[in-house]
Amino acid sequence: MPVAQLVALRNLKRGVVVLTPDPRDPKTYLEFQAAGDPGGGDVHYISEEAMTLPAVVKGILHGTFAMEEDTLSEIVAQSFQAQMVVAQRQREQAEQQIAASITRTDNKDLLGTPCVGPSIQPGKACGESVAIREQELKETPPLCPRHVSMAGEYIPTDDFDGEKHITRWTRATLGAREREQK
């Protein structure tokens, strides 16, 4: 299947021109920006076959459009370079808007962690499973509903297990000597 040659068509008018090559299909159109558009929207490539359509021929005869003989002319190259710059800028703005609209959910996963409250057996932790967010694990001790009132008695200590930092919660208690001084 042969590849159709493309021809650069440039708008010569000071206003926007909309070209509907096929009057039976008005949904198909080309929008040419005003002549000298800084975004390069005043030049479009169309096929040689489309150059023979009545709307295009009429536009050329009435001085609305000019066919660029050299499709790599300086004017065409500048127009398409400007179009590339505008398209790149629009793509970057769209990416920024998308990134700004995304709600970040970093460290909002619920973790099942054992309760650090005291157990019935001396020296052991409660161990009941507690659902807590990962970011809250560093701020509040993981305590089940039965031990949640003891939160003020726990202090965090940071440990490193070789791969990541872990926050361990230990219960602060007063010794015999400290009780006598109070």
* Amino acid in the structure at residue 151: A
Contacts of 115 (CB under 8 A, 6+ apart): 125, 126, 127, 128, 129, 130, 142, 143, 144, 146, 147
* Alpha carbon distance 154, 156 (integer Å): 7
Domain boundaries, the chain: 6-101, 110-181
The pLDDT assigned to 1 comes to: 45
Query: pLDDT tens digit string along 105-121?
Result: 666 778 888 888 888 88
* Amino acid in the structure at residue 125: A
Q: Taking a C-beta distance cutoff of 8 angstroms, is the pair 89, 75 a contact?
A: no
**Which residues of the chain fall short of a pLDDT of 70?**
1-4, 69-73, 76, 104-107, 174-182
Whether the pTM exceeds 0.75: the reply is no
The pLDDT assigned to 176 comes to: 62
The pLDDT assigned to 177 comes to: 62
